[in-house]
């Protein structure tokens, strides 16, 4: 198949694209700004398109001629998510796209979380369309939990709900599930899959204990504000945990601040939990655990740098 992947330089697409290429799909990758075309082509992408998915004409060009779409909205464009999702659905119907896989998040029915409400509305538009669709609903990614500097400082920064229990999932497992859904197509039409890893839930102190056991030193959870958490990650090597694309717009910046406030308020008062059974079935194995993830990123030199 020819598959359009949106937010092609984002953390989700970085994991999904190599799996789709390995399955023999031709990938058209769209990203908002130039600068990493060579990196994307090196992963086996057949075509890199630079375009703004807030622009209807760019979406139309991206959708034309593809058989399937894997769509995830960049975090920096959350303010425009409803419009983006609606236009992708419209153009997919117009161009006869065979399958749309939309990656959202766990429990989009939580209206107090602004980004959840936006994704819920796009889900509704997709379900109401004439398209064949699959909706993936991953919980929080393990990849956003542990800045590498934690191994050096012994401090695990926790921005939201450090006393509450939450479900988390390894992004690699989400990518593997997405690749299977696209590979098998019809078997997953009109399905909505909650994707959660192991254990079913974890709190900040338990996460710190796991890190301590893996790296052999005491690690303690340190509550920080949302902006402090983002600054810590911005100083780390490697891909950012959030997209800056769109945040040069005042409306995008203002909405991002509102989202952080809403997350801090809601996570501080509620558990955010799901179940790993669906992901276990999709993978045909146990989902990766928090300990599996920490072991995969820990290297002794991180603790010494």
Domains within the chain, CATH numbers bracketed: 2-141+170-195 (3.40.50.720)
pLDDT value of residue 305? 61
From first to last of the 305 residues of the chain, give the pLDDT tens digit.
Answer: 999 999 998 889 999 999 999 999 999 999 888 877 888 899 999 999 999 999 999 999 999 999 999 999 988 899 999 999 999 999 999 999 999 999 999 999 999 999 999 999 999 999 999 999 999 999 999 999 999 999 999 999 998 888 899 999 999 999 999 999 999 999 999 999 999 999 999 999 999 999 999 999 999 999 998 888 888 888 887 666 666 667 788 999 899 889 988 998 999 899 999 999 999 999 999 999 999 999 999 998 888 76
First vs last C-alpha separation in the chain: 45
Q: Which of 118, 117, 135 is nearest to 126 (CA)?
A: 135
Quote the CA–CA distance of 180 and 257 in Å, as a whole number: 35
Q: Collect all residues with Cβ–Cβ distance below 8 Å to 167 and sequence separation of at least 6.
A: 106, 139, 140, 196, 197, 200, 201, 202, 272, 273, 274, 275, 276
pLDDT value of residue 243? 66
The DSSP line for 47-80 is EEEE--TTSHHHHHHHHTT-SEEEE---GGGGGG
């Amino acid at each position: 198949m020819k598959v359009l992947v949106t937010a092609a330089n984002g953390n989700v697409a970085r994991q999904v694209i190599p799996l789709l290429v390995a399955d023999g799909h031709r990938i058209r990758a769209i990203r908002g700004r130039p600068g990493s075309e060579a990196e994307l082509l090196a992963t086996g992408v057949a075509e890199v398109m630079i375009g703004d998915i807030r622009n209807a004409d760019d979406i139309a060009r991206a959708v034309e001629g593809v058989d399937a779409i894997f769509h995830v909205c960049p975090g920096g464009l959350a303010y425009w998510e409803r419009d983006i999702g609606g236009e992708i659905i419209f153009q997919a119907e117009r161009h006869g796209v065979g399958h749309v896989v939309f990656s959202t998040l766990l429990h989009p029915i939580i209206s107090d979380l602004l980004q959840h409400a936006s994704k819920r509305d796009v889900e509704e538009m997709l379900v109401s369309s004439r398209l064949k669709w699959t909706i993936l609903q991953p919980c929080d990614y393990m990849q956003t939990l542990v800045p590498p500097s934690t191994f050096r400082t012994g401090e695990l920064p926790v921005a939201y709900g450090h006393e509450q229990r939450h479900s988390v999932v390894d992004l690699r497992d989400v990518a593997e599930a997405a690749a299977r859904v696209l590979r098998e197509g019809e078997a997953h039409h009109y399905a909505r899959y909650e994707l959660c890893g192991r254990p079913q839930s974890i709190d900040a102190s338990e996460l710190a204990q796991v890190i301590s056991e893996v790296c052999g030193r005491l690690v303690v959870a340190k509550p920080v504000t949302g902006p402090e958490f983002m600054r810590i990650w911005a100083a780390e090597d490697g891909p950012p945990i959030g997209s800056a694309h769109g945040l040069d717009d005042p409306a995008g910046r203002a909405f991002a601040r509102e989202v952080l406030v809403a997350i801090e308020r809601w996570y501080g008062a509620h558990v955010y939990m799901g179940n790993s059974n669906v992901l276990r079935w999709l993978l045909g194995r146990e989902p990766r655990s928090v300990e599996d993830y920490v072991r995969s990123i820990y290297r002794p030199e991180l603790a010494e740098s």
